[in-house]
Structure 1
Amino acid sequence: MKRIAALILLASLSTSAFALEPFVVSDIRIEGLSRISAGTVFNYLSINKGDRLTNEEAQQAIRALYNTKFFSDVELERDGSILVVKVVERPSIAKLTIRGNNDIKTDDLKKGLKDIGLTEGETFDRLAIDRVQQELIRQYYNRGKYNVSVIPHVTELDRNRVSIDIEIREGKVAKVKEVNIVGNTAFTDKEIEKDFETGTTNWLSWYSKNDQYSQDKLSGDLKKLQSYYMDRGYADFGLDSSQVTIAPDKRAMYITADVVQGDIYHISDTHLLGQLILPEDTLRKLVFVKNGDLFSRRAIEATSDSIKALLANIGYAFAKVNSVPKLDKDKHTVDVTWYIQPGPRVYVRRVIFQGNTRTEDDVLRREMRQLEGSWYSQAAIDRSKIRLQQLGFFKTVTIDKQVVPGSDDEVDLTVKVEEQSAGSLTFGVGYSQYSGIILSSSVSQNNFLGTGDRFSVSAERSDYLTQINAGYYNPFLTENGVGIGYNATFSRADYSNLGSQYASYSNSTKSFSTTLGIPVTDFDRISGSLGIGSTKINTYEGYTPQPLVDYINALGHQTIHSWTGSLSWVHDTRNSYWAPTHGGQLTATVSTALPGSTVQYWIFNGEANHYWPIGKGFVLYVDGKVAYGDTYGNQKYANTTSDYTPAGGGNAQVGYKAGQTVAFPFWMNFYAGGVTDVRGFQDNTLGPRVCAGVDTNGAPIKAQSNGYCPNSTYSYAQPVGGAFKVLGTTELYLPLPFLKDINTARVSLFVDVGQAYTNLQSFKFGGLDASAGISLHWQAPIGPLIISLGFPFRTQPGDSQYLERIQFTFGSQF
């Protein structure tokens, strides 16, 4: 009725305004403006000074001003030769309030209203109120709330303004009470509906919302229903009808789908027609059905997609492969033909980057495997996307193609990225009964100044430890991806007051190294490093575990100098840096203290892990690590520790003898246990443990089966680590239906297995410790937060005092 009234008003205005004879406009005067500028009116007014005004032109002018939606009334009058434009401005929206909404956020509702022109500061159109009600009701219908009511209240304010208050009464969600599929005899309802998003209430409905009706969800489920049958041979399956019935109270929904199963069909023959481009034998390898197979629409579509992908890899970016099945209803067979239309072969003209406000274009461009001026390749584009994701600089990466206007053989690529924090500023304050107050901080930036270089500085201070580390790495010293890095470390630790938590000795270490990295393939990289370092070790008679005292005494050096070198290889096929879902990583590193070092030794570290998506958002992760070290060459101990008189006056032969081959240095030993290792156990507490001091006969004190050390300085044996370590982890990442971005948070169930051993010969499967639990990785507002709840289910004698159920770390990002 309002629209009709407006049209009648427009007609009446037009009739009254144009009763005068046409005239030449000498000037234009506008009346009635308060908020809108005269320039805006002149911009929409098609009449200028000097024009001859006719009835038709006046009507067009009125329509143009009405169409701006700025005015509720427009009149044209004549004052001599002056055209007078009288307008009544529509009010502006001073305030827009939405209340009563709990299920949908206010910002989300306002976004929908903005799309239809209702937002603060805009001109108010009363006709838009109806559209507002319909839009809000539509959003709630999509949430399954069918008894929602939307009541708008408009209050007039001074200065031609209005305040709009929208009251929402959401009501209760309509629950799906019944889903009926009529006509299905080949399969059970449970088999068919297992992948449906719509269903009746179950114990998971509180977060899956499967029992809330949605037209979009139902449409998707009906497509799944059709696919279920057509992937299992029912080529002439049909969906006869679907009905949705709502109860009078609008609280219960009943869904019925009538299906016509049809018959089971088999493949009789397959054909490839059209412009094949490649030899037919090559394309035949991509045909996933053969004569006699059960008809499967999924396999037929996969064939089309595979042929298109192959053609896209050699430049045919817009290839079309249409499958046409021909049914023989008498024989129940299907003859399938794929018609191939490759279209023009195209090449990439330009690669454009968007969204990288901090990261330089060159950092992205050097990761691209699709080059400008070369033939289009979908494989190269997909690989480029993965390489950009592996940088860890971006939350999302998308690559779109656009046809160059006026050309059918050129495309431009637009690489859109959403940057995320690539650096962290972490502060830690803690307290332990063993180490006292612990202060730590670190600054790291994997995208230093937007160049892609990595930089880090960390410091830690506690009652027993002072440590500073600084590192820098440029991954693209050359255009070919040769990288160079530097690392410097200083640490000073005194474990003598930590009781049975650590071996009681002190050390001071200084080191510097440089690393050179060389790419071998897109997935493989080798690197080598050279360094220099020194470690000064102090042991304490009666407090330090006896084998450690004997080692230093026999070596004859408290300060150990080392020239170090290492060589490593990395094979990385992960699809993401922060939260991979498939692919894996293989690493192998051999490091050594070179000839001329105080102790010559070598160390091997190896790791293999992989991610497998196993459907419905679940991801399986398996990881294995091994580390082993030993000495080499013909180094001998210089001194003997057997000629001193132990406590009690005994003269037992203990320790290492002069001339004996030097053993693997204990300060390089591997330790197991902790939040990043075998969860559920305290850091570094698994593996060999030794008592301090000697007995009255001068022999080392032996720990009892429970780890207790009789007549020792410390009640319990001290962890000393070992030269061999093995770890294994199996983790199942769980889908979080309420969280679509896995880069924000991930929850997993884990099983950890591991142990450190004195040497390779002492390894026993029965000696492995194991734990299981649940872990949360969350990019919280305060920074990355990792919380693990671990339950050891396999332990060794003496482990009970080192259990730690809850473990967490956190920091803040910038």
Structure 2
Amino acid sequence: MTSPKFRKSLLCLSLAVALGQPVHAQVADTFVAGDIRVDGLQRISAGTVFTYLPIEKGDEVTGAKTTEAIRALYKTGFFSDVRFERQGDILVVSVVERPSINTLTLKGNKEIKTEDLLKGLKGIGLAEGETYNPLNLDRVTQELLRQYNNKGKYGVTITPTVATIDRNRVDVTLDIAEGKGARLRDINIVGNAVYADDVLREGWESNTSNWLSWYKRDDQYSREKLSGDLEKLSDYYLDRGYVDFNVESTQVAITPDKKDIFLTANVTEGEVYKVSSVKVSGDTIVPVAEVEKLVLVRAGNTFSRQLLTATNDRITAMLGNIGYAFAEVNPVPEIDREGREIGIDFVVTPGPRVQVRRIEIEGNVRTNDEVVRREMRQFENSWYSQSALDRSKIRLQRLGFFETVEVESKPVPGRPDQVDVVMKVKERNSGSFVFGLGYQQLYGMTASVQLSENNFLGTGNRMAVSVQNNSYSKRLSFSYTDPYFTENGVSVGYNVSFSDYNQGDFNTARYTSKNFNFESVIGIPLSETDSVQFALGFDKIDLTTTLGSTPKPLIDYLDDILGTQPYFPCFPSVDDDNNPATPSENDDNNPAAPDPDICGFNQTWPTRQVRAQAGWGRDSRNDYLLPTAGTYHRIGAEFSFPGSDISYYKLSYQFEHYRPLNSWLVLKIGTDLGYGDSYGNSGGYGLPFFKNFYVGGPQSVRGYEANTLGPSYGTCAIVAPATTCVPNYLQPLGGALKVAGTFELLFPKLFNSRGTRLSAFLDYGNAFAGSFDYSGYTDPSVGAVYGTEKFKLNALRASAGVALQWQAPVGPISISYAMPINEGELDRVERLQFTFGQQF
């Protein structure tokens, strides 16, 4: 029986022999190489071998040199076997090339993206076209295991497969079975006497399983998340004066099945320290008294690192705004551990004052440089200003042309007082194209084309064209806006449209209108966030009503203001006075003259208005399409000039406020108000019905059919044995008063795509009758108006639901599902709604 020592020696000897197998130096005698030949090459050229070979033609070949040459060729990683032989005075180098990687396939990876993995694999030589090295494959497998373990996936298995194919190539496949991540079953903090565990863990990314874990994934262990959470724990104590706080150790225990993790953190709290003194020293550039105004730390208060950091940021920002881009503020503490006090000295090191040499723009493939530069508030050959750069970034984001905007300041080599600013943008689709084609039995073939472009030909100008044609509507519209008509940002725009609508097919009252509209719009900026806008327009509107179809209040309104119009179409009748069957009302009692024409039930009222609009807006939102912070206000007024056929005015107010609640949740509050009435020759008749406000649908109160909330007109008849009248054929009339709003929780980071987000909302609103008198329309058998109450809080309709917003390649898409909360008896519910090709 062999002893353990002997077996160990035998194993070492066998291993040494195995490791030495590939190396062959069969050159026993020393000789001068008259020539060198390389055998066995397939993909690699002989020149490449000679580049690495330390022996040249005419050199003396010895055993030491061949050993050195073999090592050099193996070190390249190109060969799996190298042999040296002598044929006369010819040195023969026989090699066996390693195969090349034909394909590299990853399967089963969900936690880590394929493109990220391939990029990392290429960095260590494992990529398609590279030389295959088994050692690299093993290194990759171990590294992937480590990355998955850091993400809490301890049950992951990675199975590499290498398939040999023709021409000395291999197909490499990494089959990854990620398994389920280990769940945090318990998090325990030991040593905390002042604050409870649940207080200390508030805001942690790591948590035990809860009802939101399916979304937040906070119950999945990750080493990176744990490090961040322990840093938050330290910050919590340091912000409350515990200068000596320390995390002594952490223990992470995993169950044998690798499914559950138990985390323990041992801490030492220490004592609370007070601030004994505060001073500012160093080269402050500006007077020390000005800098001291920015200091938030006060003597006598409890020490807070949060206030310390905020003070640093304020002083640094102040110096950065006057050109000191590399200013540093170093708070130097003087700790008195016996007295539990700490003195703070803010030492200011401004560095050189920096000038911006150049502003470079990267990533704008379609957008002209001028469009980006005119939004910049940092200028070339001027002092560096951090606030100007921050403002420039926000202005570029609000254009709606770019998905991301990044700012980078690069020092100029050899010039410490200069930097180059690089604006890196990633363009997004700034327009939308909508094409619709369909057939309905009632309306026939329908077709529509809508094209809008907010960055026309890369100029930043806005252009939109819309063509629609079907049996119930025809429309052609064109609009164009130049937001920088002048260098100061004065905008000029034009809108022209021709339309022929059968309004009843749009959830409004049944009448038709032929419209020609033209307006010119001028916008004037007042500040970075404020602007005013003025518009002057002309409207030619021919309104056609049908007796028995159009609501009677609308016909009476037009009769009272514009006078009764003749009915049409009319057809000449024959002379039938001698016909006893002819109704007497058709007889003119004159056999020599034709009877009156027979006319239909339509009437047309032509109207002409010259109108003006004025508005003031303030917009501090941080993005054009999907803002997450900032506020939007707009106050608008519209009125027709005296002398127009119908005199009216409208007032409106829109408000939006976005407030981030944390890193993954944003609160949106919105309000939309409107009121209108008549004046002058139309005074007392209320806002014209074709100018009414409408509420309901995807753009206001979701969950209700578009435009259906508020006053409506309908008829009904009581048929036995029923005793109540349920109106039918309801036609929404709109209202002179509009109240609508929303409370919405936005989840901007739920999806990886920046242009996609989910939200949960609560909408409210309604339209209310104005000064028009509907009191005479109460007979349901003839036609009655419903929902004419004045504004009341309990009359507001509400709905709650969820919505998905997506910035699709062909334009924005919004889908919502809402449940009405207090729907009325006559309300029309539509829970699932979507819009396509419109701005959110």
Is 1:773 aligned to 2:773, yes or no?
Answer: no
Post-superposition offset of 1:536: 0.3
**Which segments of 5 or more consecutive residues in structure 1 lack a partner in the other structure?**
637-659, 696-704, 710-714
Post-superposition offset of 1:779: 3.5
| Alignment correspondent of 1:806 | 832
Amino acid at match of 1:470: F
Q: Deviation string for 1:691-744 (max 9, x for gaps)?
A: 589x9xxxxxxxxx99956xxxxx4553222333222222222465x5244422
Post-superposition offset of 1:504: 2.2
Query: Conserved in 2, the CA contact under 8 Å of 1:707 and 1:717?
Result: no
Is 1:752 aligned to 2:764, yes or no?
Answer: yes
Coordinate RMSD, CA, aligned: 3.5
Is 1:399 aligned to 2:407, yes or no?
Answer: yes
Post-superposition offset of 1:73: 4.3
| Alignment correspondent of 2:475 | 467
Query: Conserved in 2, the CA contact under 8 Å of 1:154 and 1:162?
Result: yes
Q: Which has the larger displacement, 520-529 or 576-585?
A: 520-529
SS in 1 for 2:767: strand
Query: Conserved in 2, the CA contact under 8 Å of 1:781 and 1:812?
Result: no
Residues 179 and 782 of structure 1: is their aligned pair in 2 closer, same or farther, counting only changes over 3 Å? same
| Alignment correspondent of 1:664 | 687
| Alignment correspondent of 2:535 | 529
Amino acid at match of 1:732: L
Post-superposition offset of 1:128: 0.9
TM-score, structure 1 as length reference:
0.85
Is 1:614 aligned to 2:661, yes or no?
Answer: yes
**Which segments of 5 or more consecutive residues in structure 2 lack a partner in the other structure?**
1-11, 566-604, 718-722, 773-788
| Alignment correspondent of 1:640 | none
| Alignment correspondent of 2:742 | 729
| Alignment correspondent of 1:479 | 487
Query: Conserved in 2, the CA contact under 8 Å of 1:360 and 1:450?
Result: yes
Which residue of 509, 519, 534 corresponds with 1:513?
Answer: 519
Residues 692 and 169 of structure 1: is their aligned pair in 2 closer, same or farther, counting only changes over 3 Å? closer
| Alignment correspondent of 2:709 | 686
Query: Conserved in 2, the CA contact under 8 Å of 1:496 and 1:543?
Result: no
Post-superposition offset of 1:675: 1.3
Q: For 1:68 and 1:465, locate their aligned partners in 2 and report how far apart those are by CA, in whole Å.
A: 75
Query: Conserved in 1, the CA contact under 8 Å of 2:633 and 2:654?
Result: yes
SS in 2 for 1:521: coil
Which residue of 394, 413, 417 corresponds with 1:409?
Answer: 417
Q: Which has the larger displacement, 754-763 or 402-411?
A: 754-763
Query: Conserved in 2, the CA contact under 8 Å of 1:572 and 1:585?
Result: yes
Query: Conserved in 2, the CA contact under 8 Å of 1:616 and 1:735?
Result: no
Post-superposition offset of 1:348: 0.9
Q: Deviation string for 1:103-155 (max 9, x for gaps)?
A: 55555443432232212221111211220221221122123222333332333
- After superposition, where does 1:712-727 map in structure 2 within 5 Å? 715=728, 718-727=731-740
- After superposition, where does 1:359-758 map in structure 2 within 5 Å? 359-428=367-436, 439-461=447-469, 463-495=471-503, 501-554=507-560, 555-556=562-563, 558-632=605-679, 634-635=680-681, 663-690=686-713, 715=728, 718-734=731-747, 738-758=750-770
Q: For 2:765 and 2:204, locate their aligned partners in 1 and report how far apart those are by CA, in whole Å.
A: 38
Post-superposition offset of 1:392: 0.9
Q: Deviation string for 1:336-377 (max 9, x for gaps)?
A: 121111111111111111112221222111111111111111
Query: Conserved in 2, the CA contact under 8 Å of 1:628 and 1:725?
Result: yes
Query: Conserved in 2, the CA contact under 8 Å of 1:242 and 1:256?
Result: yes
Amino acid at match of 1:604: L
Q: Which has the larger displacement, 556-565 or 94-103?
A: 94-103
Query: Conserved in 1, the CA contact under 8 Å of 2:500 and 2:515?
Result: yes
Q: For 2:735 and 2:176, locate their aligned partners in 1 and report how far apart those are by CA, in whole Å.
A: 67
Q: Which has the larger displacement, 760-769 or 249-258?
A: 760-769
Q: Which has the larger displacement, 565-574 or 406-415?
A: 565-574
| Alignment correspondent of 1:646 | none
Amino acid at match of 1:517: G
Is 1:96 aligned to 2:104, yes or no?
Answer: yes
- After superposition, where does 1:131-150 map in structure 2 within 5 Å? 131-150=139-158
Q: Deviation string for 1:430-486 (max 9, x for gaps)?
A: 899997886544211111122211111223445533223221112122322222222
Post-superposition offset of 1:157: 2.7
- After superposition, where does 1:144-293 map in structure 2 within 5 Å? 144-293=152-301
SS in 1 for 2:415: coil
Query: Conserved in 2, the CA contact under 8 Å of 1:184 and 1:261?
Result: yes
Q: Which has the larger displacement, 260-269 or 583-592?
A: 583-592
Query: Conserved in 2, the CA contact under 8 Å of 1:782 and 1:812?
Result: no
SS in 2 for 1:409: strand
Higher-Rg member (1/2): 2
Amino acid at match of 1:410: Q
SS in 2 for 1:408: strand
Post-superposition offset of 1:198: 2.0
Post-superposition offset of 1:257: 1.2
Is 1:790 aligned to 2:837, yes or no?
Answer: no
Post-superposition offset of 1:684: 1.5
Amino acid at match of 1:113: L
% identical equivalent positions: 46
Residues 685 and 431 of structure 1: is their aligned pair in 2 closer, same or farther, counting only changes over 3 Å? farther
SS in 2 for 1:635: helix
* Residue correspondences, number: 765
Q: For 1:433 and 1:326, locate their aligned partners in 2 and report how far apart those are by CA, in whole Å.
A: 86
Q: For 1:68 and 1:317, locate their aligned partners in 2 and report how far apart those are by CA, in whole Å.
A: 47
Q: For 2:797 and 2:158, locate their aligned partners in 1 and report how far apart those are by CA, in whole Å.
A: 61
| Alignment correspondent of 1:651 | none
Query: Conserved in 1, the CA contact under 8 Å of 2:40 and 2:95?
Result: yes
Is 1:342 aligned to 2:350, yes or no?
Answer: yes
Residues 140 and 536 of structure 1: is their aligned pair in 2 closer, same or farther, counting only changes over 3 Å? same
Post-superposition offset of 1:260: 0.6
Amino acid at match of 1:688: P
Q: Deviation string for 1:366-404 (max 9, x for gaps)?
A: 111111111111101111111111111111111111111
| Alignment correspondent of 1:656 | none
Amino acid at match of 1:300: L
Q: For 2:812 and 2:278, locate their aligned partners in 1 and report how far apart those are by CA, in whole Å.
A: 54
TM-score, structure 2 as length reference:
0.83
Q: Deviation string for 1:155-197 (max 9, x for gaps)?
A: 3333212232334444443222222211011111111112222
Q: For 1:3 and 1:572, locate their aligned partners in 2 and report how far apart those are by CA, in whole Å.
A: 75
Q: Deviation string for 1:663-704 (max 9, x for gaps)?
A: 5322112222221012222212222334589x9xxxxxxxxx
Query: Conserved in 2, the CA contact under 8 Å of 1:612 and 1:619?
Result: yes
Query: Conserved in 1, the CA contact under 8 Å of 2:276 and 2:341?
Result: yes
SS in 1 for 2:821: strand
Post-superposition offset of 1:762: 4.3
Q: For 1:443 and 1:148, locate their aligned partners in 2 and report how far apart those are by CA, in whole Å.
A: 50
Query: Conserved in 2, the CA contact under 8 Å of 1:76 and 1:86?
Result: yes
Amino acid at match of 1:284: E
Q: For 2:398 and 2:811, locate their aligned partners in 1 and report how far apart those are by CA, in whole Å.
A: 20
Q: Deviation string for 1:620-671 (max 9, x for gaps)?
A: 1112222223334x436xxxxxxxxxxxxxxxxxxxxxxx766532211222
Q: Which has the larger displacement, 32-41 or 70-79?
A: 70-79
Residues 158 and 125 of structure 1: is their aligned pair in 2 closer, same or farther, counting only changes over 3 Å? same
